[in-house]
Structure 1
Amino acid sequence: MNKLTCFKAYDIRGKLGTELNNEIAYKIGRAYGQIYQPKTIVVGCDVRLTSEELKQATIRGLNDAGVDVLDLGLTGTEEVYFGAFHLDVQGGIEITASHNPMDYNGMKLVRENARPISADTGLKEIQTLAETENFSEVKIKGKTQKYNILPEFIDYLMTYIDPAKIRPLRLVMNAGNGAAGHVIDAIEAKFKELNVPIEFIKVHNEPNGHFPNGIPNPILVENRGSTRDAVLIHGADMGIAWDGDFDRCFLFDEKGQFIEGYYIVGLLAQAFLLKQSDEKIVHDPRLIWNTLDIVEQFNGVAVQSKSGHAFIKDVMREHNAVYGGEMSAHHYFRDFAYCDSGMIPWLLAVVVLSETKQSLSSLVEGMITKFPCSGEINFKVEDTQKTIQKIFDHFADQNPAIDQTDGVSLDFGAWRLNVRASNTEPLLRLNIESRLDKNPQPMQVYVDELTQLIQG
């Protein structure tokens, strides 16, 4: 039995050739089909050079397990999610490496109604069957047909805006040569048809698996320059940049400044609560004060969840939450089957810019001033648990309020920190925030103290 190392907590990801290849993709498709026995599922792939062949291998496995497949072609992850709850199908698979290095690829798997398949909801069973190859033969093999989901997806996205209420705006759209380009083009055409007065400045819009401008991952500081520069050159009202499979979008204000995902959570919570108060808003524990402040201000109910899409989606379902946001730029929506989308957030930001008649910088500068944060700082450490304990012990005599929803959060009243082991990489992730009204101390003081403690 060959042990497969590409199975992770939430999805499948591995080094090409050794950890993930066409043979392994076939086995995963075959195992998915045998375990869930869906009649039909949707399958799509990103722009990676190996994604199409891995998709075809996965489809062969599904067909051999008796599953019919709708091949969506080049898609972002959320188009597969959309297909999985919008069409009469029982699941979906997106072949994507998202923002991983060039020599990686992977898969995201969902069941009916786009419910996630992760380690504790079926991924381990798929892994075991793919490893043992204990496949049963079926009498009737499945068939595959191509399906263009784009027109239905665009019509769905338009339900988030009222074209008559959108004010003239100029937006920089940076697909990073990933999968977002075809959706950006289709939205642009739809806006023209509906007379929505928005002008698109498109950057790196062509899909290109060679990634001539670097792997699209705008969370990395070095990947933000092209969006920032285009905003400034064209005098744009906002810049939007996506990762490779566009399930995350990142916003830049009219000054070209990158807005931390944490403050976008507050902005989107506000957008929903302006429409309907008393709604529940789910957030992760890394940075919380700004979100709690806004949710209280606009009469909503804040619910904390462990970080990670499987946890957030479960908590949203449990509480019927309208929206869930993570500071890592994953945004989840009840009307999108509780899935994350990289297209809905910027459309909602356009709605807020139009309704408030304010600039993006003026909408978030109050939040940033009131609740400054460090942004996520990653450390390579030998033993994450040992390091967390060291931090815990160091601050014990200050009697902080302790929360262990995800890693350890220590709240000192005037400032707080959250430290946690990454779910996906051998890293320790640190986030710090403070309250300006109680604490004039510069953020760097805390960053330096914790850095010394972790690395010392």
Structure 2
Amino acid sequence: MDTLACFKSYDVRGRVPDELNEDIAYRIGRAYAQCYRPKTVAVGYDIRLTSPQLSNALAQGLADSGVNVMDIGLGGTEEVYFAAFNEEVDGGICITASHNPKDYNGLKFVGKKGIPISNNNGLLDIERLAAINEFGAKKALGKIIKKSLKQAYKKHLLSYIDGTKLTPLKIVVNAGNGGAGEIIDLLEDSLPFEFIKLNHTPDGNFPHGVPNPLLKDNRLTTQQAVIEHNADLGIAWDGDFDRCFFFDETGDFVDGYYMVGLLATALLKVHPGAAIIYDPRLYWNTLEMVAQAGGKAIISKTGHSFIKEAMRKENAIYGGEMSAHHYFKQFAYCDNGNIPWLLICQLIAEKQTSLSALINDCKKRFPCSGEINLTVKNTPKILERLTEHYQKDAVKIDFIDGIGVEFSQWRFNVRASNTEPLLRVNVESRNDQALLDNATNELLALIRRLDD
């Protein structure tokens, strides 16, 4: 099959201009139109310097195929998702490379009502057609119409909370010079919060580094500001702000794992007994919190298309991944980087407490390693040998995503990344930091020996 290097499992991502450029973006527009025969497609773009040109080329490819384009302009991936289910369109495409280096860009695709498009339902067909580049004569041109959805989106975000229950909070917000700052500005006059704004202006030059709060060095500015301003919490986003990351009032970074259980608890108060979807990397804390809140916890393979499929199947109210992707039924089962912090702020107000008070017991009861990424030569061999090594003593082994091995007091998951050439390792224990440290070190040493 003809291939293009920028096509990945879930989206398009590549270095500009050698892997992705205006010509390829145009061909992708033609290919999307041929695959799905849409009447109208929403198109938006993030803050990267090459995004406007790529967006224009994509829109022209769609229009040359007879498709009308709703150009929603500069924004985040979640705003394209919103357009896909809130507007009379047949799909949406966002120009973004999220947290990749500044010379990268990409495209994320959804169909009608925000249904994800990935390798198992059409992305390979788009790649094949774009690579062949044989589209025939242009049809009657579609119209490219600019439309702002900002006020409609503001109204939608505010619908997740009860404004009468909110209390004044001081919040450090770090957009990382990505697009999240515009949403904060949009919401500010409707919330009783004081925002301390860091790296707030959108700037595709990324003067303060690529917006990726998972990198420890990128957290320092937010942590210091929380302490300096005596803030109630801090929030940071990646470039296209489909993920948000939390810092408690002491400046400590909160692992995304613990936010899954907390958000599930918040939503189960409003939707008692509902299903919650979680991923297989770390989950003991999630299971306990969902059970205590009266919900039904259901596991899914890691990855947005799998989580969204499971949510639809189970009619789940919420799905959470420890990587800080949070999915909401009312948001067409898509992930969102602003609904989470709004819900958490309401939870803090309702319980008249702090984020650390909500989280610290969970961290103590179920300490975790955080995700450890390893570059290895032979992933299949390592997974096979790990199974052989641990199967005699394990309480349970599963193969939902990579290998999950459970003992009475600790467990781990090792899996190949869906998006990068890495082996991802996660370990957790029951109320035993020393056991966690020893087990993690033992596991990592074993993986290194197996990869020799």
Same fold (TM over 0.5): yes
1:225 has 2:244 as partner: no
Shift of 1:41: 1.0
Cα distance in 2, alignment partners of residues 420 and 6 from structure 1: 23
Residue number in structure 2 paired with 1:214: 209
Cα distance in 2, alignment partners of residues 35 and 197 from structure 1: 46
Cα distance in 2, alignment partners of residues 228 and 308 from structure 1: 29
Question: What is the SS of the residue equivalent to 1:92?
Answer: strand
- Taking a change above 3 Å as real, the CA distance of residues 18 and 370 of structure 1, as seen in their structure-2 partners, is same
1:315 has 2:302 as partner: no
TM-score, normalised to structure 2, is: 0.97
Question: What is the SS of the residue equivalent to 2:120?
Answer: helix
Residue number in structure 2 paired with 1:69: 69
Q: Which of 101-110 and 132-141 deviates more?
A: 132-141
1:170 has 2:170 as partner: yes
Residue number in structure 1 paired with 2:444: 451
Of 368, 383, 389, the match for 2:384: 389
Aligned-residue CA RMSD (Å): 1.2
Amino acid at match of 1:31: A
- Taking a change above 3 Å as real, the CA distance of residues 100 and 440 of structure 1, as seen in their structure-2 partners, is closer
Of 373, 397, 404, the match for 1:409: 404
Residue number in structure 2 paired with 1:269: 264
Question: What is the SS of the residue equivalent to 1:327?
Answer: coil
Residue number in structure 2 paired with 1:252: 247
Stretches of structure 2 that go unaligned for 5 or more consecutive residues are none
Matches within 5 A, 1:21-36: 21-36=21-36
Q: Which of 30-39 and 360-369 deviates more?
A: 30-39
Residue number in structure 1 paired with 2:118: 118
Q: Which of 91-100 and 30-39 deviates more?
A: 30-39
Matches within 5 A, 1:73-152: 73-152=73-152
Shift of 1:395: 1.6
Matches within 5 A, 1:422-437: 422-436=417-431
- Taking a change above 3 Å as real, the CA distance of residues 151 and 440 of structure 1, as seen in their structure-2 partners, is closer
Shift of 1:312: 0.2
Cα distance in 2, alignment partners of residues 2 and 445 from structure 1: 47
Cα distance in 2, alignment partners of residues 80 and 197 from structure 1: 27
- Number of corresponding residues: 449
Cα distance in 2, alignment partners of residues 384 and 400 from structure 1: 23
TM-score, normalised to structure 1, is: 0.97
Stretches of structure 1 that go unaligned for 5 or more consecutive residues are none
Shift of 1:442: 3.6
Amino acid at match of 2:31: A
Cα distance in 1, alignment partners of residues 336 and 414 from structure 2: 26
Question: What is the SS of the residue equivalent to 1:374?
Answer: coil
Question: What is the SS of the residue equivalent to 2:30?
Answer: helix
Q: Deviations over 1:107-149 (max 9, x none)?
A: 0001100111100110011111111123143541111011111
Amino acid at match of 2:442: E
Question: What is the SS of the residue equivalent to 2:392?
Answer: helix
- Taking a change above 3 Å as real, the CA distance of residues 440 and 28 of structure 1, as seen in their structure-2 partners, is closer
Q: Which of 9-18 and 341-350 deviates more?
A: 9-18
Is contact 2:94–2:108 with CA below 8 Å preserved after alignment?
A: yes
Question: What is the SS of the residue equivalent to 2:137?
Answer: coil
Cα distance in 2, alignment partners of residues 384 and 368 from structure 1: 30
Shift of 1:16: 1.3
- Taking a change above 3 Å as real, the CA distance of residues 63 and 411 of structure 1, as seen in their structure-2 partners, is same
Question: What is the SS of the residue equivalent to 1:417?
Answer: strand
Cα distance in 2, alignment partners of residues 2 and 57 from structure 1: 21
